[in-house]
Amino acid sequence: MARQATPHPRKVSADAPVLVIGLGRFGAAAAAKLEQLGREVLVIDSDPVLVQKWSDKVTHAVQADARDLDALKQVGGSNFSVAIVAVGASLEGSVVITANLVDLGIPQIWAKAMSPSHGTILERIGANHVIYAEAEAGDRLAHLVSGQVLDFIEFDDELSVAKLRPPHVAQGAAISELGLRRKYGITIVGVRAPDQVFVYASSDTVVGPDDFIVVAGTASDIDAFARLQR
């Protein structure tokens, strides 16, 4: 019988150590960022070359086969509250590893999936969070290649945030007078003038033609707004 993903994973400490399994590009990037943020990180990979490479970059690096439940126990996997399964390219491997982490009782399991069906399997066996890294990267790239949007993050269907140069309709008057949310469905949340630091926007903020702005709204509304004449 398939094990169901926990709908509301138990809260863990914000500085809890993290177990990262797989040192491909995704896993390595996650481990490096976690280490940079001051988290204790144990990385596991079956490739001795990768383990050696990362041994002095993270708290602990261990060569082991995470598909083997006993191997995970031996390296202390059950002591972790958060785990990242970064071996999405191997469907069988990621499924077995995720199942092992569930058996160890790890309350928060993040797993990389390569497709919706892969993600569904991971959720059913117990992954609390499924990450579609390639799909998310491709979606972000699609918004950037037009040249209108300088950075883009989509949180869900209802909320995205983007950095862009201001269209003409956003310039020269206080934000409260422009009616941008009513006309275009977006909200300016921040502004950065040339050679200045980022500041949060207020109703009195006036955007200049050389500023960068950060806007929030749906992805489609942001795209349409970014295409307006500058």
Question: Which band of pLDDT confidence, cut at 50, 70 and 90, is reported for residue 2?
Answer: very low
DSSP tag of 5:
P
Q: Is the pLDDT of residue 4 over 50?
A: no
Model pTM greater than 0.75?
Answer: no
User: Would you identify the CATH topology of the domain 18-131?
Assistant: Rossmann fold (3.40.50)
Joined together, the tokens standing for residue 108 give 């928060």
The neighbouring-strand residues paired with 190 are: 200, 214
Tell me the C-alpha distance between 170 and 224, whole Å: 13
Mean pLDDT of the residues in the chain: 89
The CATH number of domain 137-226, selected from 1.20.1250.20, 3.40.50.261, 3.10.50.40, 3.30.70.1450: 3.30.70.1450
Domain-by-domain residue ranges, the chain?
18-131, 137-226
pLDDT at 202: 95
